């Protein structure tokens, strides 16, 4: 990485405590009544990957409402490594572009269907919940539909 690329701001050297850090901003405590917000114009791999994925999915009728990327440090090499799947129905919210309506609950191709069932039945956060066959089947159908829309292939 070029030495002139800023990847992190460390203000401890000037006596400021970092309160929060985000993709394009850092927040430091100046004193008990003052915070310093430092905004940057950084672009990340996340921006590029998500933009390409968004465009790909949208052409196939799926809106990527949000997603997560999970990383960890390899203890042996100290390298940043991807530790979970990305851009799947388990790591993202996939919405139908065809039926999308601003401000309403969306038709989704992800685990939101299962979450909604867990919440509506009072089972959210509980261990040992047995899924009814129709809920398991419908969740699998949503994942299959996302796969087929995104790949253009029939599942199995």
Per-residue pLDDT tens for 38-56?
Answer: 877 666 666 777 888 999 9
pLDDT over 50 at 80, yes or no: yes
Determine the CATH number of domain 45-151.
3.30.470
User: What is the reported pLDDT for 42?
Assistant: 60
**CA R_g for the chain:** 21
Which runs of consecutive H residues, i.e. helices, occur in 8-132? 45-58, 112-120
User: Where are the strands (E) in the chain, listed by range?
Assistant: 17-21, 25-31, 34-39, 62-67, 71-73, 80-82, 92-96
Mean pLDDT calculated for residue range 128-149: 94
Question: CA–CA distance from 52 to each of 3, 55, 127, 153 (Å)?
Answer: 28, 5, 37, 20
Q: What average pLDDT does this structure show over 137-151?
A: 94
Backbone angles phi, psi at 51, to 5 degrees: -65, -45
Provide the whole-model pTM. 0.65
Domain range summary for the chain, segments of one domain joined by +: 1-42, 45-151
């Amino acid at each position: 990485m070029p030495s002139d690329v800023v990847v992190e701001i460390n203000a401890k050297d000037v006596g400021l405590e970092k309160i929060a850090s985000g993709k394009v901003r850092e927040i430091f405590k100046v004193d008990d009544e003052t915070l310093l917000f430092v905004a940057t114009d950084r672009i990340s791999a996340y921006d590029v990957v998500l933009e390409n994925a968004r465009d790909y999915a949208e052409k196939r009728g799926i809106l990527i409402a949000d997603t997560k990327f999970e990383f960890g440090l390899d203890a042996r090499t100290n390298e940043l490594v991807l530790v979970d799947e990305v851009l799947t129905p388990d790591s993202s919210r996939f919405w139908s572009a065809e039926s999308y309506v601003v401000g309403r609950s969306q038709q989704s191709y992800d685990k939101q269907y299962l979450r909604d069932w867990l919440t509506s039945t009072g089972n959210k956060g509980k261990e040992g919940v047995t899924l009814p066959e129709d809920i398991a089947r419908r969740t699998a159908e949503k994942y299959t539909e996302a796969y087929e829309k995104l790949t253009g292939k029939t599942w199995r």
